[in-house]
Amino acid sequence: MGPENKPVATAKPSEREAIEVAEAAREKEWRSPSFLKELFLGSYRIDLIHPFPPMEDRPEFREFYDKMKRFLETAVRPAEIDATGEYPQEVVDGLRRLGAFGMKIPKEYGGLGFTQAEYDKVMKLLGSHDANVTALLSAHQSIGAPQPLKIFGTDEQKKKYLPRLAAGAVSAFALTEPNVGSDPASMETTAERTPEGDYLLNGEKLWATNATFAELIVVIARHPDSRKLSAFIVETSWPGVKVEKRCRFMGLKAIANALMSFKNVRVPKENLMGQEGQGLKIALVTLNTGRLALPASCAGIAKVALRIVRDWANERVQWGRPVGRHEAIATRIADMASHLFAMEAVADLGSRLAGRGGYDIRLEAAAAKEFNSFTGWQIIDDAMQIRGGRGYETEQSLAERGDRPIGLERMMRDFRINRIFEGSSEIMHLFMAREAVDRHLEVAGALIDPKKGAMQKLLALPKMFGFYAIWYPTRWLGWGWWPSYAEFGRLARHVRFAARHSRRLARATFHGMMVHGGRLQHRQGFLFRLVDIGLDLYAMTAAALRAKAMRDEGHPEWRGAEELADVFCRTARRRVRQRFAELWCNDDARKAALARGVLEGKYGWLEEGTTTPTWTKEGQPK
């Protein structure tokens, strides 16, 4: 795209404007219950998720699952895809024949009509085999056109596009822009109304997955007059739609990700999705369930990493015994296995709750994405450390010298993006922190809102005192000791710990608001620790529920499940205690001051003794 075609840069919105745009798109009401929402308020409503939701064993799904597994094992060669950086046409065609592009699309539109739990089970299988194919199918169905069409599309839009998508027409979702990260208020792509009621799209979108060969793209754009964001269904064959550059990455070598431009693209008014101004809401709602595919695929990759380590730690002998028998390695293996059990519990719980109906999944989906992407990365990193040089060596090099071509190096490169995809770890923490304090802002927000006058603050006091006079004392009261939750057996102590510390978490959140007031939104160190505590309490609960369900079902491995859950919970409890201590005893202020010094060049001398980076030279692209 030449400079003359680029959208005119507008003044960047203020912090207040950016917050207001994000707030306007939030789902402000909680029409359905949420365990995590209650947990952050200090109410341990385990009845909302207990017993662990079962998954229906449907013959038609089993048949598809078995076919997909055979297809992956016989037709999809991950090392070859990684080396060429391309999806083989026979792989894409094979996925179409299987109906894989229509897994979540209802049968009435030609899809397979799988539940969220069934779909995520396939994502787990795909994740264990090849991350590139996982990204292709997930970007198409989890955040691509099918999901928002199902929720927000008109009957005409569904009839027109869903059968085509189910048959294998690849789709993408275009939200991010070159100069815009997670701040929708700064979006520059515009949708200008024409006299006929259609729209003209102009702008650029970056990192639209599947964009290089997608037929349909959901594009989020801003109306210049109202500055509201809307979503549009765009055909890539239309005049003015252009793939400017295919993007290449550290991992996911074949991912069809691109910089796209839109120059006077005429979009018919019937291709507006939802209502004008609903664009950001459509994106956020789509991501709520779309995120659940990622934790499932993360669990699949972690399963393979554990298997690699188990084989290697048994066969590799050092100092007279297998390396897995040395305590330094054994403790890592125990952490890998126990945390993998928790990852699978968190992923499965979220996907089954999403399909149950009458449950608000937004926090659980964010928690699953954040917990599994972070924990999975630790597992991959430990696997690399244990396997050593053979883990760092490429599978091609291993094969060429006669060793087993185990692609751990490729897996590590492919996995790293999961902490950035579909909302970075930092954005997930901010999102969860905002929801965690939602009730407090509703009750006492006027007192810390700089836009409220003195009279408005005074008028808010009766509501505030009325709520906290009852709420706060009950966060200290409550029985969280024996014999509560005795039905969990040896894991009951961990469930009781989670119940007690949910109340402590709620108190800490309230204390943070009282101490920091309106500055709390900038105390991200404090907020992130609160979220991390909530994540561990949720993962502990999910692990205990899964182990209990296996025992109740008479699963032959239920005792092993209890052992895994027990070790995970013991480790998580230590992290929770440490983070509570760090809420009020930390170096956040000093580190923030030091960071300002770094940004101002105060410590520029630390960078001396290097060559001049090419990107700092004049004439280089920025």
Separation CA 597–CA 242 (nearest Å):
42
Are 281 and 228 in contact, with CB atoms under 8 Å apart?
no
C-alpha closest to that of 338 among 104, 166, 568, 118: 568
Separation CA 359–CA 353 (nearest Å):
7
**164-192 as b/e: b if 16+ CB within 10 A:** bbbebbbbbbbbbbeebeebbbbbbbbbe
**303-340 as b/e: b if 16+ CB within 10 A:** bbbbebbeebbeeeeeeeeebbeeeebeebbebbbbbb
Tokens 């409503």 -> residue: 45
Q: Which two tokens stand for residue 140?
A: 């198409």
Helix axes 492-516, 558-584, angle to 10 degrees: 20
Separation CA 137–CA 237 (nearest Å):
21
Is 487 part of the annotated catalytic residue set? no
User: Angle CA(388)–CA(394)–CA(395) in degrees, nearest 5?
Assistant: 105
The one catalytic residue among 344, 395, 422, 435: 422
Reduced to 3 states (helix: H, G, I; strand: E, B; else coil), residue 458 is helix
**How is residue 491 annotated by DSSP?**
G
Are 76 and 68 in contact, with CB atoms under 8 Å apart?
no
Identity (one letter) of the amino acid at 332? R
| List of residues 6+ apart from 481 with CB closer than 8 A | 496, 500
| List of residues 6+ apart from 429 with CB closer than 8 A | 370, 524, 527, 528, 531, 532
Q: Which residues are catalytic?
A: 422
